[in-house]
Each structure stands twice: as structure tokens, then as C-alpha cells.
Amino acid sequence: MPASPIKLITFDLDNTLWDVEPALLRAEQAQYLWLQQHRPAVTRKFNPQAMRDFRVTHYKQHPELAHQISAIRISAVQAMLLAAGYDSDNANAGAQAAFDVFMELRHQVQPYEQALDVLQQLSKEYQLGALTNGNADIFKLELGDCFDFSFSAEQVDASKPLPDMFHAAMSAAQVDNHQVVHVGDNPHHDIYGAKQVGLFTVWMNSGDWRWPRGEPADEEISKLQQLPDAIRRIEAKLA
Ligand SMILES: [Mg+2]
């Protein structure tokens, strides 16, 4: 049997390997509680919704931080602390400490059923890479043991669907685009983005969504257990 033409599988993280929303919700609540205890003036001025609204506005006002999701979170809290009357030392330290609390909880995710088994199995045959627009660090999780490398939008200062992260992955794995399958949940960031640079694609559609429009992925799965077969079908078409 000839060697597989596919050498590298890249994975989006949030909502591809786990549901991110519950973790984000808990992380924001924990951050708010920390602020309530340690910088109470800011939570008297901003309720949780007002904090989210402030962050959205802050994001729009700082296009230079468009791909720096952690920096945006920190600087938004910093600005709210200043607005609540804290001096800059207290605002800086408070924003950083609150962010540390957020990040701790943000990483308490529940991987999808059999995620570890599937990744362990695939890692025996392929290089695996993580490509995220978010700020999860796969190497903080047990799943990270299966991965050869990871890139984030923050590191390359460009979010998917921009090509930078895909190029970084190909260069890290020393492979060409036709040797890569990208797996992700977001039709635009993951599927359109990966197709633009000529990668094969698998749409992780855990919510049973309808494909929005545009060229569909090469394969669609609703559970990670279906991924090895989807990869094999891609390989079969190439044989
Ligand atoms: Mg995602």
C-alpha cells in the first residue's frame, strides 16, 4: 500500500474539540467575582452585560488589536478600572489578575466524546497541529499530548480565514497544501479559509447546522469518532 498522501491534520479548537460557550461563561463569571472582591468600584459601575458591551466597543476602537484577543480582554478591563476611578497601577494589576482568573476557567473544557482516543489514534499516523483564533492553549490540556505544534491568531497576528496560520502550519510540518486536512466548525474561518490555501477540509458540524453557502467542505462529520473514516475517504479519492 502506498504511503498516505495526507501528512498533517490541523484542528480548530473551540467548538471543534469541545463546546467553548460553557467554559467562557464560567470564566467570565469568575472574573466578575474576582473584580467584585478586589476592585468593587468597577462592578458597581459595570454589571456583567455592561462589561461585555464595553469590551465590544473597546474592540472596535482598537483595530490594531484585532487579532489579539487576550490583549483586548486585558485592556478593556483596564479601561473600565480607570473609568471606575482606580489609578493606573491598580488598574493594570487588577486587569492582569482578573484575566489570569478568566484563563484558568477558560481552559476547564470538556472535550467531546472520544476526542482523546481519536486524536491518539490519528497521531500515530499523521502530524497534528492546532490552529485557533481563540486563546486556548492545547498544551494546557491532556489532549495536547497528541499535538506536534499549535499556532494562534495572537502569535501570527492574523485570524483565520487569513492564510497566515495555515502557512505557519505547513511550514512547521514541512508539508505542501495537498498533504493537509484542516478540521473545523466555522464555515468561513475554517472551511473557506483552508480552501483558499488549497487544503482539504472536514467540517465539524456538531450542532447539525445547515451548510450556509459557498463551496462545502470535502467531508462533514457531526462527531469526532467519524473523523478517521472521513480522512480515509479523502485519501481514497486521492489514491
Ligand atoms: Mg471553532
Q: Among 77, 106, 135, where does a domain finish?
A: 106
Q: Do residue 116 and residue 191 come from a single domain?
A: yes
Q: Among 106, 126, 156, where does a domain finish?
A: 106
- Expressed in angstroms and rounded, the spacing between residue 185 Cα and the centre of ligand 1 is 5
Q: Do residue 40 and residue 71 come from a single domain?
A: yes
Q: Do residue 148 and residue 67 come from a single domain?
A: no
- Expressed in angstroms and rounded, the spacing between residue 15 Cα and the centre of ligand 1 is 5
Model pLDDT, residue 1: 47
Q: SS3 of 109, please?
A: coil
- Expressed in angstroms and rounded, the spacing between residue 41 Cα and the centre of ligand 1 is 35
Q: Do residue 132 and residue 53 come from a single domain?
A: no
With CA atoms as reference, report the closest residue to 227 among 110, 141, 119.
119
- Expressed in angstroms and rounded, the spacing between residue 237 Cα and the centre of ligand 1 is 27
Q: What is the pTM of this model?
A: 0.95
Q: Do residue 87 and residue 200 come from a single domain?
A: no
- Expressed in angstroms and rounded, the spacing between residue 38 Cα and the centre of ligand 1 is 33
Instruction: Write out pLDDT tens, residues 17-73.
Output: 999 999 999 999 999 999 999 999 999 999 999 999 999 999 999 999 999 999 999
Instruction: Write out pLDDT tens, residues 148-172.
Output: 999 999 999 999 999 999 999 999 9
Other Cβ atoms closer than 10 A to 25: 11
Percent of all residues in the chain with a pLDDT value above 70, rounded to a whole number? 99
Residue 127 has pLDDT above 80, yes or no: yes
